[in-house]
Copies of this chain bind each other. A is one copy, B any other.
Amino acid sequence: MTLTSARTVPGVLELLPAEQIAFQDMLDTIRRNYERFGFLPIETPVMEFSEVLLTKQGGETERQVYFVQSTGALEQGGRPELALRFDLTVPLARYVAEHEHALSFPFRRYQMQRVYRGERAQRGRFREFYQCDIDVIGKDSLSVRYDAEMPAVIYSVFRDLDIGPFQIQLNNRKLMRGYFESLGIADEQQAGVLREVDKLDKHGEEAVRAVLAGPGHGLGDGAVDRIMSFIGVRSQDHADALARLDALQGSGARFEQGRAELREVLGLIRAFGVPESHYALNLSIARGLDYYTGTVYETRLVQHPQIGSICSGGRYDDLAGSYTKSHLPGVGISIGATRLFWQLREAGLLGPVQSTVQVLVTMMDEAQLPAYLALAAQLRGAGIATEAVMEPSKLARQFRHADRAGIRFVVVLGPDELARDMVTLKDMRKQEQFQVPRGELVKTLRVELEQATAMARMGRG
């Protein structure tokens, strides 16, 4: 028989079990924190009607969409009726519009699912990747206070992910556009200027200066200087952030509204208990062009700036204008978990392999299989994840399997142990082994496993 080559489609991140466990751990930590802040889960289908998905977006997004057709539809020809979601925001808009009367507002939802983009295959670019989003959606209005809740969630997530020091950076689109306005840059010119500002990290200050002063924008030296000094603002601590806001030389209603919002948001971030080392102003953050209308966020690993923002988002005026006449303002953030995991792996920031399996019950004597299975059943009944060896092999080989798989504890039940109603327990990490009375095994393991978890949290696992 001819064999078909077993290969995954390019541009996806398929993991081996040990890596999958680490990835699942990351997702669990994110979810736990989203739930801790009172966000409710939803999931939407991977497919949406093409006309629903592509109502607003054009250009880039539409070119990257994956279309879906059943065998029947394919045979009939014609444009595909279905497409795969490319983010979680459009499905959220459709969901909220469709179920509006069954939801209570402000609607606080989290959603952690994969999204699809027909990107050109490229290192670190994925065609399938997880997004982990939270949004708060108001009906008619939504207090700016919710803008302060997002950094509190971000802080809590990345503190628990324990991947090194990080900083949440804030800006406000009203502040930024109001500032441009007070420099005499008209509304229709601002999109172009924002687009250049967005390139600051990639292209550097000189390049951005040159373009702003060049024929396309034609800004005078004074205006360019003031823009560069505005987008250069970074704060050191809480008081410094407020002082820098106060010192900004802008004017006009939009500018002042942006400034007032940022002040309130900064104050509440502190009230949420976020340490001031973990948030700062960064007035260069623009986050794209049209969508966001108020507060915007990015999050950076202090020791790995090259990774870029690992959690971004912001405030928008109207979520679902394409589907409903209701006015639904919102604020939200997104963590691109697949890309983050890949980057952490590349940077060597993932911890040692740790299996979901906590205990391996070895097989010393095949005739004693029922005794091994009873022991495994006892551990499982106590909630301890246990693999039982089912086929005979050398004990050394069974230990090697535990070692390679990252299984921390190995249990041996030999004739000697059986006779004395004891169990030999080996800690593979510490390379220590000791005997425990059978009746105390569960208790002993619980203590050991709790200690192991606590040590791992302290980075000393």
Contact = CB atoms under 8 A, between A and B. Distances in A.
A6 B390 contact: no
Given A48-B9, A273-B377, A356-B40, A3 B325 contact: yes
A301 interface: no
B374 A45 contact: no
A336 interface: no
Interface string A42-57: 1111111101100100
B66 A68 contact: yes
A70 interface: yes
Contacts of A66: 47, 68-70, 82
Contact of A386 (B38, B106, B146): B38
A429 B76 CA distance: 56
With a 10 A CB-CB cut-off, give which of A4, A118, A377 has the most chain B CB atoms.
A4
Contact of A4 (B9, B12, B323): B323
A82 B36 contact: no
A373 B268 contact: yes
A137 to B, nearest CB: 12
A232 to B, nearest CB: 31
Contacts of A156: 380
A71 B62 CA distance: 7
A71 B57 CA distance: 14
Given A17-B41, A118-B72, A383-B36, A401 B104 contact: yes
Interface of A: 1, 3-9, 12, 14-17, 20-21, 24, 32, 35-38, 40-49, 51-52, 55, 62-72, 74, 80, 82, 84, 93-95, 97-99, 102-104, 106, 108-109, 114, 116, 118, 128, 143, 145-146, 149, 152, 156, 268, 271-273, 320-325, 355-357, 360, 369-370, 373-374, 376-377, 380-381, 383-388, 390-391, 401, 404-405
